Structure 1
Amino acid sequence: MKLFVALLVSALAISSSFAFDPSQLQDICVAVDEPKNAVFVNGKFCKNPNLTVADDFLFRGINIPRDTNNSVGSIVTMVAVDQLPGLNTLGISLARIDYAPSGLNPPHIHPRATEVIMCVQGELYVGFVLSNQLGNRLVTQILKAGDVFVFPFAMIHFQLNIGKTAAVAISSLSSQNPGVITIANAVFGSKPLIDPKVLTKAFQVDKKTIDYLESQFWYNNHS
């Protein structure tokens, strides 16, 4: 029995160690699309460290507001490993979110990250939903400039601009490639579409409602 418990604890420890981005394996590991003279590690090929340059670690333009004239009234500027190769293996990324008045960053999850968000300008209503195990309790707060809020790992969360002017937030995520799944886009805009029989049962509505929702254009504000 003691051996079984020891093996179980070891298995849980090993599985937990792979739940997040692995720790960096060397001082630097800059992402490179061309595998020639590279070593495959941590999901991206690494550039030869002797060939790295300062620009591999630089991203410009996070200070520039972007157009929020879209159906949700928000736009996310992501700075992850695809935009900043020097982030490879470092387990962190950054994003800027611009919101029009009444703009929404719709309910979504980051499958590989916890997110810490800071309101830089404006007033945001933010929140996340806990798991079924905790009764899907909604946790919300109103953020003003300078306030910081955390969205726990992989929880459904959102932000809504409740001010009368544009708002801006900066977020940090605990993965070089946090990913995003916008709930409405995934459920009603999948390719191919989910069978309406599944969704009518899941949402307890008629097929006409599901057909309407699946016919809509679901804007992706993470670009």
Structure 2
Amino acid sequence: MPSISSLLLSALAVAAPIFAVDTPVNATLNKEIKTAPTELSKLDLVRDDYAFDFTQSEKYSYSPGGVVNANAATFPASTGHGMTVAWLALGPCAMLPPHFHPRADNFVVAVEGNTTTYMVQENGAKIVTSNLTPGKLTIFPQGSVHSMQNNGCTNATLISALNSDDTGTTNLLNALYQLPGDIVDAAFGTNSTSNGGSVPDVGTGAAVGSAECRARCGL
């Protein structure tokens, strides 16, 4: 399996379009739901929009991949329920770059494909590596750094459940290179110019994965 360092290097290699965060589709409705006096009155506000279609999102892609969240921003009916459900689409050798969720624990179950996940919970903790095939689940505790890669030459799909309807996501490399270049260089123990310009935008949430996998799959 590719190392976490090779996944980090891969995340530096490919640019992606910008879709960085979930934009509320109806902020006014979110406010009305939060201030509704009863659960029945909340239902009256959303009863005609009570189904969410992951496949209609601009982030639904297996080329290289994407993360589609059903949450308060994208699906107002979920406002106040304290849940986000995400469709994780990973094309051949695609990855989710290292990131964390500041406001939620994350349970991920594999539906198709063969995906390896990596997680570091905090300083002093050893890396946890899990291999997810259909029917297997892993946990990323709130605030833990995690990443995953589709190891196969066909699509991988996973379903992610998080215990907040506004989880937040911080991609580590994108955040890191917002800091002054000399601070980043010092953190890496180097005197070279920082390489933040080559870090791809958050995009759909996924990026091209390791060189080893791409070579094996002829990509």
Common fold by TM > 0.5: yes
Letter in 2 for 1:203: F
Return the match for 1:59 from 30, 52, 61. Answer: 52
Residue number in structure 2 paired with 1:173:
162
Letter in 2 for 1:126: T
Residue number in structure 2 paired with 1:146:
135
Unaligned runs of 5+ in 2: 1-24, 207-219
Pairwise CA RMSD of aligned residues? 2.8
Letter in 1 for 2:168: G
Closer, same or farther in 2 for the Cα pair 1:61/1:215, shift >3 Å? closer
Residue number in structure 1 paired with 2:196:
214
SS class of match (1:34): helix
SS class of match (2:108): strand
Letter in 1 for 2:190: V
Letter in 1 for 2:127: L
Q: % of aligned pairs identical?
A: 23
> Where do residues 1-223 of structure 1 align in structure 2 (5 Å cutoff)?
33-34=27-28, 38=32, 49=42, 51-62=44-55, 66-69=60-63, 73-132=64-123, 135-188=124-177, 190=178, 194-208=179-193, 210=194, 213-220=195-202, 221-222=204-205
TM-score by length of 2: 0.71
Unaligned runs of 5+ in 1: 1-30
SS class of match (1:201): helix
SS class of match (1:126): strand
1:153-197 per-position Cα deviation (integer Å, ceiling 9, x unaligned):
110001111122111111100100111001111112x3xxx2112
Could you tell me how far apart the structure 1 residues matched to 2:106 and 2:189 are? Answer: 32
Letter in 2 for 1:82: A
SS class of match (1:215): helix
Closer, same or farther in 2 for the Cα pair 1:101/1:50, shift >3 Å? closer
1:85-138 per-position Cα deviation (integer Å, ceiling 9, x unaligned):
121111111000111111110110011000100110000001210211xx1410
Closer, same or farther in 2 for the Cα pair 1:38/1:102, shift >3 Å? closer
